[in-house]
Amino acid sequence: MPELPDITVYVERLTSLVGSAVLTQVRLKSPFLLRSFAPPISAASGKVVRGVRRLGKRIVFELEGELFLVLHLMIAGRLHWKKPGAALGGRISLASFDFEAGSLVLTEASSRKRASLYVVQGEAELALHDRGGLEPIGSSYADFKAKLLLENRTLKRALTSPQLFSGIGNAYSDEILHAAGLSPVTLTSRLSPADIKKLHRATQTTLRHWIETLRTESKDSFPEKVTAFRPDMAVHGKYLQPCPTCGTAVQRIRYAENEVNYCPRCQTGGRMLADRSLSRLLGGDWPKTVEDWEDEHPQRPDGTPS
């Protein structure tokens, strides 16, 4: 799912492309994308774009007359800048936002169509789409701490809660926790002030780093390589690959449709966290420490498990 760094770069590029431009029309190929009925989507046609902003993981187009288009890409939604009037071919194309200079095409490469589009009138209605999370970049330590300790959750759940923090999802939470050297399953109530300071610093540093990385990657072109799995990430999507800090094989916890990736030496003091499916299968054979795991999975000279 595109998260804060990805959405930030999308918004910046869209602002340069369509800021002050007229949205000539919105073409919907999938009727399931539009989740609101009043105002109608036709009300957006012919309106000038006054701005583009991020609202959590949503992209908001502000049109003249306080009309807003709220787009949530969900997991597989992506945006593409095409020539004017580009055809909506193929099964993954959902909609096109047409401008004189080009068409912004929305695709979703998934059998389960989850992306959504809302048309709302006025700032008060737009505010209903705000989940209330703290904007992590630029937040003070005091505000960050207050949000983090608002509920007693695991660090993974706290960072990815849109009610607590805005725009952080599965991928960047893994990277933040690795940078902070903290376990994803540590409860927020058990954090020391030093831990919270490390997490606050790692959150801002990690998100800023990836915004700059994505800006550099796209340069003056439209960002087309939006993905949650990047080769230069430390742990996310790197199961069994060596941790860039200590060389230990990255481990995971799988749940529902997601997984948590972590380094057992850098983040859990050498303790292997129980993967629900595997630990249930292996029972007493599930390794308790990274040393136990490494005894059973010797590594090649390049650091990858044999």
Has residue 133 been placed in a domain? Answer: no
d(Cα 214, Cα 172) in Å, to the nearest integer? Answer: 13
Plot region of 167 (φ>0 → left; ψ -120 to 50 → alpha; else → beta): left
d(Cα 228, Cα 240) in Å, to the nearest integer? Answer: 17
For the chain, what is the mean pLDDT? 91
Please compute the mean of the pLDDT values over residues 162-178 and round it to a whole number. Answer: 97
φ, ψ dihedrals at 16, nearest 5°: -70, -30
Between 17-26, 119-128, 166-175, 273-282, the lowest mean confidence (pLDDT) is in 273-282
In sequence order, which residues have a C-beta less than 8 Å from that of residue 304 and are 6 or more positions away? 240, 241, 242, 249
Q: What is the pLDDT of residue 276?
A: 56
The confidence band for 287, taking pLDDT boundaries of 50, 70 and 90, is low
Statement to judge: residues 174 and 244 lie in one domain: no
Please compute the mean of the pLDDT values over residues 29-45 and round it to a whole number. Answer: 95
Question: Domain containing 246: what range?
Answer: 234-306
Does the pTM surpass 0.75? The reply is: yes
Q: What is the pLDDT of residue 295?
A: 53
Statement to judge: residues 148 and 85 lie in one domain: no
d(Cα 166, Cα 156) in Å, to the nearest integer? Answer: 14
Residue where one domain finishes, among candidates 127, 158, 184: 127
Residue 94 has pLDDT above 70, yes or no: yes
Q: Per the structure block, which two tokens stand in for 160?
A: 């990815």
Residue 197 has pLDDT above 80, yes or no: yes
Q: What is the pLDDT of residue 292?
A: 52
The confidence band for 290, taking pLDDT boundaries of 50, 70 and 90, is low
Query: Could you give the number of structural domains in the chain?
Result: 3
Residue where one domain finishes, among candidates 160, 185, 218: 218
CATH of the domain at 55: 3.20.190.10
The DSSP bridge partners found for residue 61 are 52, 69
Statement to judge: residues 77 and 174 lie in one domain: no
For residues 289 and 108, which has the higher predicted lDDT (pLDDT)?
Answer: 108
Residue 304 has pLDDT above 60, yes or no: no
Give the C-alpha distances (Å, rounded to integers) separating 13 from 17, 55, 80, 111, 290.
6, 16, 11, 28, 44
| Alpha carbon distance, N-terminus to C-terminus of the chain | 32
Please compute the mean of the pLDDT values over residues 105-112 and round it to a whole number. Answer: 91
